Amino acid sequence: MDIPLILLSIGVLAVILSFFIGNKTRSMDDELEAVSISLHQEMSNLKKRVRLLEEELMVASPTSEPISPAPQKTIHAIIVNQIISLHKQGYTVPEIAKRASLSEKEVTDVLHSKGVRLS
């Protein structure tokens, strides 16, 4: 009769202890969720700030100084050869610019750099 009583008391003690131990993991879960939410909010705020900065850089306000132009991109040798070939075939600068996906100024700069004179 002593063994069932001992087992019953151990079971009751285990149930009581499980409530206290369970609260620790539950509080850790709550803390982790709170940290996760705050990180998500901070990331969202940072993305908004970056978006605002990008918009400010893209559109210069009338009171601010103009943004310096980006350095001129280099044009691949294949495209340069295509531009010269199209010019020799009689295409105009706007037509060459459209076919090469470049601006007319870039096309004229390439032609001038290769010694081609435009009339």
22-35 pLDDT per residue, tens: 666 677 888 888 88
At residue 71, does pLDDT exceed 70? no
Q: Which two tokens stand for residue 86?
A: 């199209």
pLDDT tens digits for range 33-45: 888 999 999 999 9
What confidence tier does 114 reach under pLDDT thresholds 50, 70, 90? confident
At residue 20, does pLDDT exceed 80? no
CB atoms within 10 A of CB 109: 15
Q: Is the whole model's pTM more than 0.85, yes or no?
A: no
**Closest to 83 in 3D by CA, of 70, 100, 98, 65:** 100
At residue 49, does pLDDT exceed 70? yes
Domain boundaries, the chain: 1-68, 77-113
CB 110 within 8 A of CB 75: yes
pLDDT tens digits for range 75-87: 888 888 999 999 9
